[in-house]
A and B are shown apart, each in its own frame.
Chain A
Amino acid sequence: MKGKLACAVLMAPFFVLLVTVFLIPTGTAIWLSFFAQDQPGLGFGPESTVFVGLRSYAAVLSDPTFRGGLLTVVLYCLIYIPIMVVAALALALLLDSGVAKLRGWAQMGLYLPHAVPGIIAALIWLYLYTPGLSPIIDLFAKGDIHLNFLGIHTVLPSIVNIALWSNLGYNMVIFYAALQAVPREVLEASVVDGAGPVKQAVRIKAPLVKGAIVTVGIFTLIWALQLFTEPVLLSQSTPMISARFSPSMYIYDAAFTRNNYGLAAAASVILLAFTIALSYGVTRWTNRKAA
């Protein structure tokens, strides 16, 4: 009895927050997406709230700028997630192999960028990317190499770079922790069977931390689909990032530039559904492969 009460008290804050900052806003967004304040004709008359069904959804899905934003984050995910997972895993395996000296320092050095808030990180990189400000661009310019980090084809890789810098260390720590749980006798057996360090890492250790890889993959995916802070800040320095660059930016623009709440709400619900569907798909796919 006492245990149940303690359980309820300890769980309560979680559920209160879940309801107030997730379920209620989600419900409101869904409600808003089905209603609109309409005025007939040209729109200069008195407005009235009406149920519009899927009208806002149809508008979002027929908007090439929204579909373009969706395509941009899909492309971003395709570049970012594989690099992130492979690089974080490689670093974790390297640290785990004992080859690396000063392991503690290396871990801290790699983890430190993650402690920098995203907005500060983006500001630092904005400084490094902006022509006229950046010492790096100046340095290369002296050698007659002209870099443009914010050009039409380089801007997406530049954003990937910021995300990698911020999150590589964090994911590496997750993999490293998972590697600690690999049974030593399995590793010893592989050594006896003649596996060198590389073969051991690729063939034995990596498959054994598959669970961690899937988890990191899904979290990274969910995080990446909400791409917002970095492009918003970089957009101040380059016209190549439009106000509707990613779906999250589209939502912000719809609500605050276009004052179109129905559109913003519908786009939010679509992004949520897209994220859930993709996460579910990835989970199903990896489970099937395991079976």
Chain B
Amino acid sequence: MRLSRRTLLAAGLTAPLAACSTPQRRGAGGPVEITFWSALRGSQQVVDAFNSSQNRIRVIFQQIPSGGQGGYAKLSNAARAGNAPDVATIEYPQVPGYAIDGVARDITDLVTDRLKQKLLPQALKLTTFDNRVFSVPLDIEPMVLHYRADMFEANGFQPPKTWDEFTDLARRVKAKFGNKKLVLFPTDGAMQFACWAWQAGAQWFDTGNGKWQVSLADAPTRKVAAYWQSLIDEDLVYRNASDSKQHDAQLGQDLILTRLSGAWDAGAQMRARPGQKGKWRIAPMPIWDEPVVGTHGGSTFAVTKDSRQPEAAMEFIEWQTTDPAALTARLKSGTSSQYPVAPGLVAAGAKAFPGEYYGGQDVYRLFQQEADKIRDGWVWGPRMTATQKVMQDGFAKAGAGEGTLVDAVREAQSGTMPDLKALGLSTEEVER
């Protein structure tokens, strides 16, 4: 605990020196070894494919828990001790935080034009701050509506196109079945909520004029909060954690008809509930009036400050994010449905994705069409994990009938500002 960021800086300074003084391991005849940490499913298969595709770089992979389950604590602690892996997996919301803390290295000069041209610019923008690139995005995940086609068909329901239709459908579901609901309001779902706000045109953070401008409770966010609050007040939605046994039971016992989550969740669903094969289909998420969406989930790869082989690390990252063999290896594992940031890989993805679970639906074409609708200009904040937690504390209370969703968003902002100020960042709260 007493190791400060100064120690980190010191470690960062000594690492390149050490790299100079020791002979490159490549010179010894063997391949360069780099370490890679990820919680992403199918990573082992990807690493194996990379290692057998060439013999200059050998990647040593370690599967770690997902961020919230301890993965981020592990990465922060390793960086504090000066032994972070060469390549770390960081989700979009956490990129600015790790960049500010100096864990994710500034890789602007290592990102080649060739790589840049292969990636979706909207995604790369989310990992670029102050004109400097801090990580390379792997997948971009538009939110989609996963729905139970069997139950929809049996009751003559249509996938709702707008949020108004979504409310109507929720009412019909409640009227028809007392014990079933259309959807869950996830009390641990600040990231889902962020996606809805993103879609509605919110701008929680902005870095214009060299300052972190914070407006979590801006007008579009208030609209979204009021919308979900009315669904809660009318008792049209479940309100519990999405990462819980309770939600597993709701899905497993056919008590819920839809899920709103990123494209990646199609693969997670296949893995979690193989018995529901053929029952689910995927549709675009409902919209307000403009045909735009937000993202939910998605990961990026950073080269850490402790890496002694940043070039080799970048080569591996470039391969992982842009080579069709990488995506094919991941999807063949049968547990992933990631939508690649490199548009050139979509065809390979569509081919490798086992489509039987979704009754042969061409889900990748849908993902592609939705990815094109992602609203431009979203920026994540410097301490998203903490912001998210405070917001979810409020969601849990609102779910239990104490306070509202708008209160939760406001509390998240007032609980975030002291953090940013204590970090010495230029920051201001703006009313929008």
Within 8 A of A (CB), among B1-15: 1-2, 4-6, 9
Taking a contact as CB atoms under 8 Å apart, the answer to whether A59 and B424 are in contact is: no
Task: Report the minimal beta-carbon distance from A274 to chain B, rounded to whole angstroms.
Answer: 17
Taking a contact as CB atoms under 8 Å apart, the answer to whether A32 and B418 are in contact is: no
Taking a contact as CB atoms under 8 Å apart, the answer to whether A42 and B422 are in contact is: no
Output the nearest chain B residue to A40 by Cβ-Cβ distance. B426
Taking a contact as CB atoms under 8 Å apart, the answer to whether A59 and B4 are in contact is: no
A222 within 8 A of partner (CB): no
Instruction: Pick the interface stretch among A120-128, A182-190, A237-245.
Output: A237-245
Taking a contact as CB atoms under 8 Å apart, the answer to whether B210 and A41 are in contact is: yes
A96 within 8 A of partner (CB): no
Taking a contact as CB atoms under 8 Å apart, the answer to whether B425 and A60 are in contact is: no
Chain B residues closer than 8 Å to A281, beta-carbon distance: none
Taking a contact as CB atoms under 8 Å apart, the answer to whether B418 and A257 are in contact is: no
Output the nearest chain B residue to A148 by Cβ-Cβ distance. B400
Task: Report the minimal beta-carbon distance from B424 to chain A, rounded to whole angstroms.
Answer: 4
Chain B residues closer than 8 Å to A264, beta-carbon distance: 1
B192 within 8 A of partner (CB): no
Chain B residues closer than 8 Å to A62, beta-carbon distance: 417-418, 421
Output the nearest chain B residue to A131 by Cβ-Cβ distance. B246
Q: A240 touches which one: B396, B415, B417 (CB < 8 A)?
A: B396
Output the nearest chain B residue to A153 by Cβ-Cβ distance. B402
Within 8 A of A (CB), among B210-234: 210-212
Q: B390 touches which one: A242, A260, A263 (CB < 8 A)?
A: A242
- Cα distance A55–B383 in the bound complex, in angstroms: 18
Chain A interface size, under 10 / 10 to 19 / 20 to 34 / 35 or more: 35 or more
Taking a contact as CB atoms under 8 Å apart, the answer to whether A52 and B424 are in contact is: yes
Taking a contact as CB atoms under 8 Å apart, the answer to whether B419 and A263 are in contact is: yes
Q: A239 touches which one: B211, B241, B245, B419 (CB < 8 A)?
A: B241
Taking a contact as CB atoms under 8 Å apart, the answer to whether A263 and B396 are in contact is: no
A253 within 8 A of partner (CB): yes
Q: Mark B200-213, 1 if CB is under 8 A from A, else 0.
A: 00000001001110
Taking a contact as CB atoms under 8 Å apart, the answer to whether B402 and A152 are in contact is: yes
Taking a contact as CB atoms under 8 Å apart, the answer to whether B426 and A41 are in contact is: yes
Taking a contact as CB atoms under 8 Å apart, the answer to whether B5 and A258 are in contact is: no
- Cα distance A243–B391 in the bound complex, in angstroms: 11
Within 8 A of A (CB), among B147-183: none
Instruction: Pick the interface stretch among B27-35, B94-102, B256-264, B286-294.
Output: B94-102
Chain A residues closer than 8 Å to B423, beta-carbon distance: 36, 38, 43, 260, 262
Q: B418 touches which one: A39, A59, A243 (CB < 8 A)?
A: A59
A44 within 8 A of partner (CB): yes
Task: Report the minimal beta-carbon distance from A190 to chain B, rounded to whole angstroms.
Answer: 52
Taking a contact as CB atoms under 8 Å apart, the answer to whether B415 and A63 are in contact is: yes
B332 within 8 A of partner (CB): no
Task: Report the minimal beta-carbon distance from B376 to chain A, rounded to whole angstroms.
Answer: 20
Output the nearest chain B residue to A252 by Cβ-Cβ distance. B1
Taking a contact as CB atoms under 8 Å apart, the answer to whether B422 and A257 are in contact is: no
Task: Report the minimal beta-carbon distance from B255 to chain A, rounded to whole angstroms.
Answer: 17
Q: B389 touches which one: A39, A64, A257 (CB < 8 A)?
A: A257
Task: Report the minimal beta-carbon distance from A272 to chain B, rounded to whole angstroms.
Answer: 16
Q: B425 touches which one: A42, A58, A152 (CB < 8 A)?
A: A42
Output the nearest chain A residue to B2 by Cβ-Cβ distance. A28
Output the nearest chain B residue to A60 by Cβ-Cβ distance. B418
Taking a contact as CB atoms under 8 Å apart, the answer to whether A258 and B421 are in contact is: no
Taking a contact as CB atoms under 8 Å apart, the answer to whether A49 and B6 are in contact is: yes
B323 within 8 A of partner (CB): no
Task: Report the minimal beta-carbon distance from B382 to chain A, rounded to whole angstroms.
Answer: 6
Q: A152 touches which one: B9, B97, B397, B421 (CB < 8 A)?
A: B397
- Cα distance A28–B3 in the bound complex, in angstroms: 11
B358 within 8 A of partner (CB): no
Output the nearest chain A residue to B400 by Cβ-Cβ distance. A152
Taking a contact as CB atoms under 8 Å apart, the answer to whether B4 and A39 are in contact is: no
Task: Report the minimal beta-carbon distance from B111 to chain A, rounded to whole angstroms.
Answer: 16
B386 within 8 A of partner (CB): yes
B139 within 8 A of partner (CB): no
Q: Mark B62-103, 1 if CB is under 8 A from A, else 0.
A: 000000000001001000000000000000000001011110
Chain B residues closer than 8 Å to A259, beta-carbon distance: 5, 76, 97, 101
Taking a contact as CB atoms under 8 Å apart, the answer to whether B99 and A44 are in contact is: yes
Most A C-beta atoms less than 10 A away, residue of B2, B134, B397: B2
- Cα distance A265–B402 in the bound complex, in angstroms: 32
Task: Report the minimal beta-carbon distance from B217 to chain A, rounded to whole angstroms.
Answer: 14
Chain A residues closer than 8 Å to B418, beta-carbon distance: 59-60, 62-63, 66, 263
Output the nearest chain A residue to B100 by Cβ-Cβ distance. A43
Most B C-beta atoms less than 10 A away, residue of A39, A52, A65, A259: A259
Taking a contact as CB atoms under 8 Å apart, the answer to whether B386 and A253 are in contact is: yes
- Cα distance A256–B101 in the bound complex, in angstroms: 13
B129 within 8 A of partner (CB): yes
Taking a contact as CB atoms under 8 Å apart, the answer to whether B130 and A44 are in contact is: yes
Q: Mark B388-406, 1 if CB is under 8 A from A, else 0.
A: 0110110011001010000
- Cα distance A243–B390 in the bound complex, in angstroms: 8
B414 within 8 A of partner (CB): yes
- Cα distance A59–B212 in the bound complex, in angstroms: 16
Chain A residues closer than 8 Å to B424, beta-carbon distance: 36-39, 43, 50, 52, 55
B411 within 8 A of partner (CB): yes
- Cα distance A163–B102 in the bound complex, in angstroms: 42
Taking a contact as CB atoms under 8 Å apart, the answer to whether B422 and A59 are in contact is: yes
B385 within 8 A of partner (CB): yes
A158 within 8 A of partner (CB): no
Output the nearest chain B residue to A264 by Cβ-Cβ distance. B1
Within 8 A of B (CB), among A205-254: 239-240, 242-244, 253-254
- Cα distance A266–B418 in the bound complex, in angstroms: 12
- Cα distance A259–B414 in the bound complex, in angstroms: 18
Closest 10 CB pairs between A and B? Answer: A239-B396, A38-B424, A63-B418, A59-B422, A242-B393, A59-B418, A43-B100, A263-B422, A37-B5, A65-B415
Query: Can you list 19 contacts pairing A with B, beta carbon distance less than 8 Å?
Result: A37-B5, A39-B424, A42-B129, A42-B207, A42-B425, A44-B129, A47-B9, A47-B102, A52-B424, A59-B421, A62-B421, A66-B418, A243-B386, A253-B386, A254-B419, A259-B5, A260-B383, A260-B423, A262-B423
Chain A residues close to B by CB (< 8 Å): 25, 28, 32, 36-45, 47, 49-50, 52, 55-56, 58-60, 62-66, 132, 151-152, 239-240, 242-244, 253-264, 266
Given contacts A60-B418, A64-B414, 16 further A-B contacts (CB under 8 A): A28-B2, A36-B422, A38-B424, A41-B211, A42-B210, A42-B211, A44-B134, A52-B424, A65-B390, A65-B411, A239-B241, A239-B396, A242-B389, A242-B390, A256-B73, A257-B385
